[in-house]
Amino acid sequence: MNGRILLPVLLALVAGCHSVKIPTNANGTFPAGGSVIPDTKLALTPTYTLSLEKLVYWSGVSAIAYYVVDPMAPNWSIEEAKFPEQRYYLSLKMKRYYTGGAGEARQVFQRRAKEIMRAGGFENFEILEYSEGMDSNAMGSQRVAEGVVAMVGETVPTAR
């Protein structure tokens, strides 16, 4: 479920519970010790109940995990620079936390080279340099790839 939809659904579930009240002391402030989340159980089915504290906890964990992994974001980011003589430098970085796609650097590189070739109206391209590796830092390692491609052949007029 999309994160933008999940939060309102959870808030609606909690708002639908009439017995949910934030515990306060005699002067209306939060207690010095203890939880802000009341000790309330939500009856999801006649035989299964879930504590509000666990619901809030696991919703928070899920939201953080979704934000970090973000399965809808592209796995690779590409930076490119054009050199003289129809040559292009491509630098690829994979997102730091991913759920798949670790072995696709070469395919992404070639796909981008083909896009440049087609956009420029060239007949073909040639890979002059290519390398893959890992870039390590305090936040964890990150897959990287870089290379230079040369566009070859006559420029073919593009249809407009």
pTM score, whole prediction: 0.56
Q: Which of 5-9, 29-33, 56-60, 138-142 has the highest mean predicted lDDT (pLDDT)?
A: 56-60
Q: Which residue, among 27, 54, 59, 25, has the nearest Cα to 39 in the 3D structure?
A: 54
Confidence tier at 140 by pLDDT (50, 70, 90)? confident
pLDDT at 31 over 60: no
- What pLDDT, on the 0 to 100 scale, is given for residue 61? 85
pLDDT tens sequence across 85-118: 999 999 999 887 666 667 788 999 999 999 999 9
The phi-psi region of residue 140 (left if phi > 0; otherwise alpha if psi is between -120 and 50; otherwise beta) is left
Place of tokens 């440049």: 116
- Please state which of the ranges 14-18, 54-58, 96-100 shows the lowest mean pLDDT: 14-18
- What pLDDT, on the 0 to 100 scale, is given for residue 103? 78
- Interior CA angle at 41 toward 38 and 45, to 5°? 160
- What pLDDT, on the 0 to 100 scale, is given for residue 2? 47
| Residue of 31 and 49 predicted with greater confidence | 49
Q: Which residues pair with 4 in a beta bridge?
A: none
Please state, rounded to an integer, the average pLDDT across all residues of the chain: 78
pLDDT at 39 over 80: no
Helix (H) or strand (E) holding 3: helix 3-15
Domains of the chain: which residue ranges? 3-69, 76-152
CB 125 within 8 A of CB 114: yes
- What pLDDT, on the 0 to 100 scale, is given for residue 118? 92
- What pLDDT, on the 0 to 100 scale, is given for residue 160? 53
| Residue of 34 and 85 predicted with greater confidence | 85
